[in-house]
Amino acid sequence: MTNGADGSPLTLAFPDISDLEIELVSDVLRSGTLALGPFAQEFEQRIADLTGRKFAISCSSGTAGLHLAIRALDIGEGDDVITTPFSFVASANCALYERANVVFADIEEETLGIDPDQVAARATDATRAVIPVDVFGNACQIERLQDLASDRGWRMIEDSCEGLGTISNGRQLGSFGDISVFAFYPNKQITTGEGGMVLTDDPALAETLWSLRNQGRDSDTTWLRHIDLGYNYRLDELSAALGVAQLRRFDELVERRSRVAGLYDEALGGIGWITLPHAAPAATVNWFVYVIQVDPGIDRDELARLLAKSGVPTRPYFSTIHLQPYYRSRFGYKPGDFPVAERVASRTLALPFWNAMTESQVGRVADALRTAGPAAAASNGS
Ligand SMILES: *Cc1c(COP(=O)(O)O)cnc(C)c1O
């Protein structure tokens, strides 16, 4: 494997695939059951057990899962959904799919999650749901948001697509929403290639989610009876087998990820112009990405260019959703609308981060940062 070894090019992310994953995926190929088989069920059971939830329903991506959540909660035209502009675009798009209004509320600097006070300030009579996001794997103020939602009679969809394995106040992320959603794209904490999972404790919601994922089928009757406008959002067996292997190794994966985060904390701790990622109070974070913030005196984009030139790929994480071209042209958002999210977005940089990174690879990134930082500051003229 090229990316585990010293001297090989650095990459932003790399999946942690062992012989077990290869074995289980091969088993699926040999079995002939490539869809609707036992691995999807085992995968669902393992995620339910890990998060302590009653129902887990696998699906074809995190985005599909968020869409299922919106549909299952019957959110649509005329409904407001409050979410964060500092996220991956899918956490807002899911409401637009069903013609609901996306209402953004700014974030707090501490956790980079949506600010509960801003959520309260943006609420109207049309508010039906809030979609908090566990940004980079960190916990947002999920309990406060949960209280707010239950006080106001809203539903909470927890976008925990970046949060698998993080524990907040003794509870796994993904255990808080009326519906919670995970994603398993190759750069996430575990991967199925493409894939996702929706979770709930409510049997009626679980049944609806299951049905919508399966072409609107009626779970009680024959396979070709459709009681709703559904989708094919199922996860295939090859992907599910990959997910099962990753979950059988889950403790090991968490431990390997935390080792690399620890190496970075140590290597970068002495660099004054860098703010390290830090866990929310009472959270043990299984980081999705390792994202630093650079001081305002550093030109972040120039820094990224210099790092790329020295072989260190990085990425600004995230570009805010409201300033994406589609959102600007459709809704007229402009810079300044969500100042905290925009300020943070202008200073973040995701560093190469994968489980097999060695101390010397982390050291290379740290050295490149130490060299490039002052140069990026000078060219900024500050
Ligand atoms: C990864 C991710 C998703 C969903 O991603 P898919 O690529 O559709 O699986 C949704 N929300 C957030 C915050 C994510 O990071």
Q: Counting runs of H as helices and runs of E as strands, what totals does the chain give?
A: 13, 13
CB within 8 A of 181, min separation 6: which ones? 62, 65, 66, 69, 157, 158, 159, 160, 161, 174, 196, 197, 198, 199
% of the chain at pLDDT higher than 90: 93
Q: What pLDDT digit, counting tens, does each position of 92-119 carry? A: 999 999 999 999 999 999 999 999 999 9
% of the chain at pLDDT higher than 70: 97
Ligand 1, closest atom to CA 135?
A: 13
The burial class, CB within 10 Å (0-12 / 13-18 / 19+), for 313 is middle
Length of the chain equals 382
Per-residue pLDDT at 382 exceeds 50 = no
**What mean pLDDT, rounded, does the chain reach?**
95
- Ligand 1 centre from 188 Cα, in Å? 9
Place 320 in a pLDDT band, splitting at 50, 70 and 90. Answer: very high
Q: Which residue has the higher pLDDT, 289 or 6?
A: 289
Q: How far apart are CA 243 and CA 86, in angstroms?
A: 28
Per-residue pLDDT at 3 exceeds 60 = no
Q: What pLDDT digit, counting tens, does each position of 18-60 carry? A: 999 999 999 999 999 999 999 999 999 999 999 999 999 999 9
Ligand 1, closest atom to CA 196?
A: 9
Q: How far apart are CA 126 and CA 60, in angstroms?
A: 30
Q: What pLDDT digit, counting tens, does each position of 295-318 carry? A: 999 999 999 999 999 999 999 999
Question: What is the identity of the amino acid at 3?
Answer: N
Residue with tokens 């090991």: 252
Q: Which residue has the higher pLDDT, 377 or 206?
A: 206
Q: How far apart are CA 25 and CA 299, in angstroms?
A: 45
- Ligand 1 centre from 92 Cα, in Å? 11
Ligand 1 proximal residues by C-beta, below 6 Å: 61-63, 87-88, 90-91, 133, 159, 161-162, 183, 185, 196
Q: Taking Cα atoms as reference points, which of 79, 157, 84, 150 lies closest to residue 119?
A: 84
Q: What is the mean pLDDT of residues 353-360?
A: 97
This prediction has a pTM of 0.96
Cβ atoms of residues 123 and 105 within 8 Å:
no
